[in-house]
Amino acid sequence: MKWEKIAVGQLCEITSSKRIFYSEYVETGVPFYRSKEIIESFNGQKISEPLYIREEKYAEIKEKFGVPVAGDMLLTSVGTIGVPYIVKDDDYFYFKDGNLTWFRNFDDKLLSKYLYLWISSQYGQAVLNNMVIGSSQRALTISALKSLQVELPPIGVQNKIVDILSTYDDLIENNRRQIKLLEEAAQRLYKEWFVDLRFPGWEETPIVDGVPEGWRKTSLEKTCSLKKDVLIPKEMRHEFPYIGLEHMPRNDICLCNWGCADEVNSNKFIYHENDILFGKIRPYFHKVGFALNDGVASTDALVIQPENKIWGLILMTLSSDLFVRYTYQTCKEGSKMPRADWDEMKKYNILVPDSKLLTWFENFAKNVTHQIKVLAMQSRNLSESRDRLLPKLMSGELEVTA
């Protein structure tokens, strides 16, 4: 079944925010979003570097011009374009003009969630890419988005399509929450044992030269190796996973997103399953995680292979706040941006417990990461199934009745 195409500008208001100046940022207040925060929210990630504006400024704008409310949609429109976000009931923020486009006051003929799904589809993304202006700084204009043509089924059919596809999204979101809980449990135990030194039996264990008795002090250099094996473009195949910095989440240890190697045109590092990737360009030192498969990675990442018997401890050390801060303190200036300095990183001291505690911690870490991997792969399969189904539903190829 083919549906009528209608310009989005006829079905909702498409606008932007009121200008907020750098001088109006404050330490605490109402969260202020740019494209980066919307992308993080779209990916289910925590806002990593929040900005704020004064409560009074927000209240003034709300009274005079309005602010995002539940059901509105924001769209990244500069740089990384085409990432949509539906405002939720408990959202409370304002946003940067120019970076984001605001869709609001939807006509009763169009559901914002339907538009969100349409834009998320491969077809919708292709349409948006054809509307982009600029080469060095890609952008979507409000006037172009007003003319964006979408297939518009009856509202009852839109509701049904949203219900079908939301089932996949709900399962993916549930897995994401479970993964986050598992990561937090591992990070919490690492901090308790290896930073606060509150390990089992700590009350009776004397500290000798700053190290619990029976423990030993070592370094990254002695417990893992830096891998620099390179694959050149002509050797890459479509089925090879490719992980760039854009695929690596902030403050998460699971690298469950990747692209295809045949999309890249420069040398890349080879990595293997369970290798640890570390973003080596500032400000990406907090992008650290373990690989779920074999593939190739950006040369802007370090590929680190820990000893198997101490793999979990190294993973948690490299992803810890303490180590990330150390990397910031010891990084060196590069030709464009400061970079992590492996010669300094490898000197980092690591406390290794006695064999009994080490075995217990490693078993715990490997069990947690195994569960994370299972959930992440389930989510990826769900996402791929949803993405295959989405264009068929939205084009009318698969008939849906209200």
pLDDT at 1: 61
H helix and E strand count, the chain: 11, 24
pLDDT tens-digit readout, 374-387: 999 999 899 889 88
Please tell me the distance from the alpha carbon of residue 72 to that of residue 63, in angstroms, as a whole number.
17
391 or 171, greater pLDDT: 171
Query: Using 50, 70 and 90 to split pLDDT, how confident is the model at 301?
Result: very high
pLDDT at 402: 64
Mean pLDDT of all residues in 56-83: 93
8 A C-beta contact, residue 324 and residue 195: no
Query: Using 50, 70 and 90 to split pLDDT, how confident is the model at 335?
Result: low
pLDDT at 71: 96
pLDDT at 213: 93
Query: Using 50, 70 and 90 to split pLDDT, how confident is the model at 45?
Result: confident
3-state SS string over 137-189? Answer: CCECCHHHHHCCEEECCCHHHHHHHHHHHHHHHHHHHHHHHHHHHHHHHHHHH
Q: What percent of the chain has pLDDT over 70?
A: 99
Residue 135: both structure tokens together: 């080469």
Mean pLDDT of all residues in 52-56: 95
Cis peptide before 283 (omega within 30 of 0): yes
Say yes or no to pLDDT of 86 above 90: yes
8 A C-beta contact, residue 35 and residue 78: yes
pLDDT tens-digit readout, 200-209: 999 999 998 8
pLDDT at 109: 94
